[in-house]
Amino acid sequence: MLNKLKIEGTIKVESGLHIGGSTEFAAIGAIDSPVIKDSLTNLPIIPGSSLKGKMRTLLAKAYNDAPLVSGTSANNDDYRIKRLFGATTQNADGQLIIGRLIFRDSILSNREELAQLGAKSYTETKFENTIDRFTAVATPRQIERVIRGSKFDFELIYDVEKESEVEEDIQLVKTGLELLENDYLGGSGSRGYGKVKFENLSIKPVLGNYDVKGLDAILEG
């Protein structure tokens, strides 16, 4: 029987967050590097691909036998990572390894709260300079960031394939979220951008009747 579990919660932005959007058109004086936004509401979003890529990279650094270097294939990741995120190699049964996790885009969820706190916009513009260390010539740029205090709905779908591996898989997800909290999401993390926190995590069945007893304790621990 097919079983799917939903892990959901909130991503709280604790320092300005920049995940880049389109710069196909830029008027004079416009922001050089805008954030990605929903095309219908023009509100910032956190793409599921950004979460997936960052979590996988951090887990690979933590669990892979060999250090990550340029050109390292994701097919060489620890098998526990591959079964969650997928790979283009085959498993012991000769089948492609299809990831068990589906990452949803995260939508801004606390517009009213931000307005009550006095926010005039959901993003801010940060002015920065890059300086040539040899000529000392400064190149100014404007970077758009999601403001501190923003909250986004967070959702993962997990496919139950082997019941004996579910607890280990959910623990790996929890570890990935913890690694991300202690790293950064998006760009310019070394400059203070992209600190996030995952709050109010929970898990429930959305297809089938899999008993999730004990899995909440893993996410809350």
Total structural domains in the chain? 1
Helix (H, G, I), strand (E, B) or coil at 84: helix
Half-sphere exposure of 187 (CA within 13 A, CB side): 11
- Segment 27-72, tens digit of pLDDT: 444 456 889 999 999 999 999 999 999 999 999 999 998 777 666 7
> What are 168-213's pLDDT values in tens digits?
999 999 999 999 999 999 988 998 999 999 999 999 999 999 999 9
Alpha carbons 43 and 113: distance in angstroms, whole number? 15
pLDDT, mean of residues 73-79: 85
The whole-angstrom separation of Cα 184 and Cα 196 is 7
pLDDT band at 25 (very low <50, low <70, confident <90, very high): very low
Closest C-alpha among 108, 109, 143, 106 to residue 126: 143
Q: Domain containing 209: what range? A: 3-220
Answer yes or no: is pLDDT of 152 > 90: yes
Where does the pLDDT of residue 26 fall: very low under 50, low under 70, confident under 90, or very high at 90 and above? very low
* DSSP-assigned beta bridge partners for residue 128: 141
Specify the pLDDT at position 149: 97
pLDDT of residue 141: 74
> Could you say which DSSP state residue 112 is in?
H
> Which DSSP string corresponds to 129-171?
EEE-TTT--EEEEEEEEEPTT-EEEEEEEEEE--GGGHHHHHH
Pair of tokens at residue 113? 């709260």
